[in-house]
Structure 1
């Protein structure tokens, strides 16, 4: 999967035509995977891509209320690449970019050679989120861009969403989060064995996990507390851990 910056993407319409999905893709969960599948199914004669952000816009727009990413940029790109896309377009979101109207954003896409856009029903973009999915579809028709609103994936009668997954993780329901993600919640660790603080972590407790090194993976048990992360047994060279389920909140 090729990585393109937004400025490069819009400057080279000859690289298209494109079929794209647009979104933050935090966690690349089951709903995101349905969006990507819709792009791949519609991309006969088109190149396939997602248009997303290097950093979650909420970090800039609402920094004090942002609870953390489900997955960092590296994890998102790895998950997206596994789905068979040709490219990923990254936007460096800023307050200045946030003043762009939805109609202007769509015109940039059309000018870049985008012919097919796929979005979820709760999609919003533009200054102060003034453009919704239905508005995108109407404006796209006038620009020769087919905008498809893709139905959400439902689990237990409710749409799969990044907010739902984030809340499940924060409540310690990592097994529920795994069902919505389509895989366990993964957090990378630094050379000192500390969890990546930019990624949302479950609350203190004892968890069954899968431990991953450069060329090894083993099951294990991890304790999260105010003192940090503690792994039972040897885990030299630990790179990341997948949270399988909560064993106990009692430490």
Structure 2
């Protein structure tokens, strides 16, 4: 997949799905689907924004469900041929809806087809609606698909709803809306190695600083990585938190792999979150902590049915 942040380097002509697409959830997939598997002449293209417009206007860093590398991976898996990350700056923010269509979609991307969600807004001060884009683009000879809002159990599927579910540790809801398991991708770095001293060695995972982290606590997880030398995911237990039992002061992400031993320092792991087991808590002693971790491992084994 071709990735560019420059309109002048984009591959044209294009069929464009337009939006922020943080999370690449089931609603996003409905918007992207119409530009896939076209006639072969138009490049299936996702146009997104970097930084996120809310981050640009607020000046505050925004945690993302899918940082750029994860977003690119998910889109490539869908069959998208090109990702255009438009730099969201004052010049772009100042374009009115007509200028946006003419400058971005017509002049640079040579778009033949555009797909957007029903709630899509664009142009200066978000003044343009999906209907506005439809009318302006069609006048320029561009076909437009407006995709209705996608719901699950009567609730609109959105990035905000997924973030809320993850904040509550409701992985069932979050994963259903995503259409896959929420995952953390990061490098294994050296930690305090406390787990080894109590019989439960852990991989200390360092994820991108902009990655959105779910509720602190213990999770049943499936772990993937070339270093694991396994065709199947390795089951594990992951803790996100400050480790209050040992007076920890910084949040860490630590993964204990079940039935696997080896050196993972410097390796990249993908950890898929399947079940929330319990909140983080402080224990009176390391023996109590050890006993609880053992119980967590047993709970994870019971929860995580092996993938056949």
TM surpasses 0.5: yes
Structure 1: how far apart are the matches of 2:255 and 2:151?
35
In 2, the alpha carbon distance for the partners of 1:6 and 1:46 equals 18
Aligned ranges 1:101-116 → 2 under 5 Å: 101-108=96-103, 109-112=105-108, 113-116=110-113
| CA distance in structure 2 between the aligned counterparts of 1:137 and 1:184, rounded to whole angstroms | 34
Contact 1:55 1:73 in 2 (8 A): no
SS of residue in 2 equivalent to 1:245: strand
Whether 1:196 aligns to 2:219 is no
**1:50 pairs with 34, 46, 51, which one?**
46
On the 8 A contact 1:18/1:43 being kept in 2, the answer is: no
Match of 1:125 among 111, 122, 127: 122
Aligned residue runs from structure 1 range 47-196, under 5 A: 47-64=43-60, 67-108=62-103, 109-112=105-108, 113-192=110-189, 193=204, 194-196=206-208
**Bigger mean CA deviation after superposition, 69-78 or 54-63:** 54-63
For the Cα contact (< 8 Å) 1:208–1:243, is it kept in 2? yes
Q: 2: distance between equivalents of 1:240 and 1:45?
A: 35
How far apart, CA to CA, are the structure 2 residues paired with 1:174 and 1:63? 30
* Contact 1:206 1:223 (C-alpha < 8 Å) held by counterparts: yes
User: Displacement of 1:232 after TM fit?
Assistant: 2.8
State the match for 1:7 in structure 2.
7
1:183–1:205: structure 2 CA closer, same or farther, 3 Å change rule?
A: same
Question: Hey, what's the Cα distance between the residues in 2 that align with 1:44 and 1:232?
Answer: 46
Query: Helix, strand or coil: the match of 2:223?
Result: strand
User: Structure 2: how far apart are the matches of 1:9 and 1:126?
Assistant: 22
Are residues 18 and 67 of structure 1, via their aligned partners in 2, closer, same or farther at CA, if it must alter by over 3 Å? closer
Q: How big is the shift at 1:37?
A: 1.3
**Whole-angstrom CA distance in 2 between matches of 1:30 and 1:247:** 25
Judge conservation of contact 1:18–1:49 (CA < 8 Å) in 2.
yes
Look up the match of 2:236. 220
Q: What whole-Å deviation, never above 9, does each CA across 1:90-146 have from its counterpart, x for those lacking one?
A: 212123321122211110211231121100001011111111101111111221122
1: CA distance between counterparts of 2:182 and 2:26? 13
Paired position in structure 1 for 2:269: 239
Higher relative contact order, structure no. (Cα contacts within 8 Å, ≥ 6 residues apart) = 1
RMSD of Structure 2 on Structure 1 (CA): 2.1
Give, in angstroms, the shift of residue 231 of structure 1: 2.5
Distance 1:115 1:9, change over 3 A: farther
Gaps of 5+ in 1: none
Contact 2:222 2:271 (C-alpha < 8 Å) held by counterparts: yes
Shift of 1:42: 5.2
CA distance in 2, matches of 1:225, 1:105: 44
Q: Which moved more, 1:230-239 or 1:103-112?
A: 230-239
CA distance in 2, matches of 1:169, 1:151: 25
Distance 1:170 1:186 in 2: 14
Number of residue pairs the alignment of both structures matches: 246
Q: How many angstroms apart in 2 are the aligned matches of 1:39 and 1:159?
A: 23
